[in-house]
Amino acid sequence: MRQCLRAALLGGALLLAGLPGGTHAQGTPSPAGPSAGAPAEAPLQVREIGSLHVGGRVAELSGLPSREIVYSPGAPPIRLDPNGQFQVEQMYAQYVRLQDPRARYPLILAHGGGLTGVTYETTPDGRPGWQMLFLRAGHDVYVTDAVERGRAGWARFPEILPGEPVFRTMGEGWGLFRVGPADGWNIEPSLRRAFPDTRFPAAAWNRFMRQGVPRWTTTDRQVQAGYDALVQQVCPCVILVHSQGGNFGFTAALNAPDKVRAVIAVEPSGTPPAGADAARLRGIPHLVVWGDHIEGNPFWTNIRANVGRWQARIREAGGTADTLDLPAQGIRGNSHMLMMDDNNAEIAARIQDWMARQGLMR
């Protein structure tokens, strides 16, 4: 069973990898939703699906004026006093537990900035996301929304959440996520210029933009507290983080080295401060995954260098901090959103192999 599912995952991956860059998976399912002919595989044996919120605090507001509102058509108006106590700064996780997981620990999937756990649930062109692929590989999977993102909810600002939220334009990510050159963006799809070898489903860019949510840049402390509370509640575990989630994952391991069994950082955008004690991570294997088109991009070469220094400090302390550099392995064209790229199954399979080598599978 284990072998056949691993084979299915890897097999599907290699099949995808054989496709020309930029095209979609064979028999591409409609982005309408469920992949038409998707799983010829055996059904998942699921024990339980549910969710939880963790962390947060009670905040109090006072002195704000009242106003009258109607909650829904036909309902009588209600005088709303915006003052009072509010439950704020919690983090959200949805879990799918297998009847017979083959992984030793649950796998926590954490998104990057301006996004939510949806990052792992699907791809903009409607193929299976990493949630499904890692479930098939035998992991209990927790898909999370960070504090003030998605189902974690958000609070009044600036009274409770400091500063103001940032709303990502449709064009910003095109260059920042390395789907194409920054000046290759155009609101008119036919005029957009992607990298010729991009593996991102660029034709589904507008669908990807529907996954975006506002985010603050002033709430790192609150977001980290959410991660730390989640680790205390559901770990021992393996944490897989993306982009802005990178530093939160590295720091969650530093804050609970007894609970976090491994950290997989996919294109992490930040690192712990210079003073952080990397020796605490000696027993926690780390893997950092990088896509393509970083060379010649000052923003990303700078970030990769910062992360490289952090990995070096873990190794100097006697720990494991490996790198999966896809272009160096001959896999070209991956974007910053490589869990959505057309070879997302191949990349998941390589991460799965690394986890197996670290003894994280039964």
Instruction: Using CB under 8 A, count the residues that bind a copy of itself.
Output: 97
In whole angstroms, the minimum distance from the beta carbon of 354 to a copy of itself comes to 24
Under DSSP, is residue 288 helix (H, G, I), strand (E, B) or coil?
strand
Convert 78-147 into a string of H (helix), E (strand) and C (coil): EEECCCEEEEECCEEEEEEEECCCCECCCEEEECCCCCCCHHHHECCCCCECHHHHHHHCCCCEEEEECC
Q: Which of 20, 50, 275, 330 binds a copy of itself (CB under 8 A)?
A: 50
Is the Cα dihedral 170, 176, 181, 183 positive or negative?
A: positive
CB of 168 to a copy of itself, least distance (A): 8
The reply to whether omega before 196 is within 30° of 0 (cis) is no
* Nearer of residues 6 and 111 to a copy of itself, judged by Cβ: 111
Of residues 139 through 168, those in contact with a copy of itself by CB under 8 A are 145, 150-151, 153-156, 166-168
Half-sphere exposure at residue 192, Cβ-oriented, CA atoms within 13 angstroms: 23
**Which of these ranges, 19-27, 49-57, 320-328, 334-342, lies near a copy of itself under the rule CB under 8 A?**
49-57
Best CA proximity match to 89, nearest among 168, 13, 159, 153: 153
Using the rule CB under 8 A, is 335 a contact of a copy of itself?
no
**Nearer of residues 81 and 197 to a copy of itself, judged by Cβ:** 81
Task: Examine residue 128 and tell whether it contacts a copy of itself (CB under 8 A).
Answer: yes
Of residues 72-111, which lie at the interface with a copy of itself (CB under 8 A)?
72-76, 78, 80-87, 90, 92-99
Distance separating alpha carbons of residues 87 and 226, to the nearest angstrom: 13
Write down how long the chain is: 362
Find out whether the peptide bond into 236 is cis, omega within 30 degrees of 0.
yes
CB of 228 to a copy of itself, least distance (A): 15
| Nearest alpha-carbon partner for 155 in 269, 26, 58 | 58
CB 352, min distance to a copy of itself, A: 18
- Residue 11 or 84 with smaller CB distance to a copy of itself: 84
Residue 346 within binding range of a copy of itself, rule CB under 8 A: no
Question: What is the C-alpha separation between 65 and 76, in angstroms, rounded?
Answer: 20
Q: Is 32 in the site for a copy of itself (CB under 8 A)?
A: yes
Nearest to 313 by CA among 287, 273, 279, 290: 279
The answer to whether 40 contacts a copy of itself (rule: CB under 8 A) is: no
Q: Which is nearer to a copy of itself, 22 or 246 (CB)?
A: 246
Q: Under rule CB under 8 A, which residues in 177-216 are in contact with a copy of itself?
A: 187, 206-207, 209-214
Q: How far is the CB of 118 from a copy of itself (least distance, A)?
A: 6
Residues 262-321 contacting a copy of itself, CB under 8 A: 269-271, 273, 299, 302-303, 306
Q: Which of 173, 198, 167 is nearest to 185 (CA)?
A: 173
- Which region among 114-122, 196-204, 279-287, 288-296 touches a copy of itself (by CB under 8 A)? 114-122
